[in-house]
Structure 1
Amino acid sequence: MKECSCMQIKLLNEIEKQKVSNLFKVIADPTRIDILYTLKDSRLSVSEIKDKLNMSQSAISHQLRVLKDVNLVKDERVGKNIFYSLSDNHVYDIFNQAIDHVREEECNHE
């Protein structure tokens, strides 16, 4: 009889666990979810985000700084303007999968 050779799962190290935990804590804020959703398909300036979300510029700037600190958004200076976008496709995928999961859950309960 052959012995089962199961692959051992590599656990996250402490730094990785902390980073993943921080990422989910940041995403968990409803205002930040609004900002990420607004940036989902295009890059926008603080002013454009402010107009879309009907929030103060200082509130938007603060939340963008938090999102930038955990590498969920990036900024790009064009002349005097700074435009924000999702950092990369991973952020887009994480965000879209979360939305799909919630919407699927809603459909299953109807």
Structure 2
Amino acid sequence: MSEEPPKIRFKNPQYSYIEPGGKKHVFKSLKQILAVEKTQQWPEGTMSYTSFNAPPSLRPPKKYSDISGLIAPYTDPHSKLRYANSEEYTVVKTLPSDIVAGYLALRGASSIVG
């Protein structure tokens, strides 16, 4: 006895959904929605995807390790490089100053003040 597995809507490769009334609904991407919004004439003051302005975040920005890219809770006081754990700290201590300056330049931080 072979039973067909039930068809799941979100696995439809055409990204479409047939409503119970028989109407076919095709989902649009955000890029398509923005393109349609730009071409239509909207009354003054109408809210759209492109007119929303988000306020600045109240959370502090996350700091990432210059070596591995992991979240870095520590900063070396001498080189100002960020690191995530003790293994990375040993690597930071062995780096020459030109490499340290390169890491800081990639991050956009100021150079080492010795």
Both proteins in one fold, TM over 0.5: no
Computing the radius of gyration over CA atoms, which structure comes out larger, 1 or 2? 2
Q: TM-score range by the shorter chain?
A: under 0.3
Q: Relative contact order (C-alpha < 8 Å, sep 6+): which is higher?
A: 1
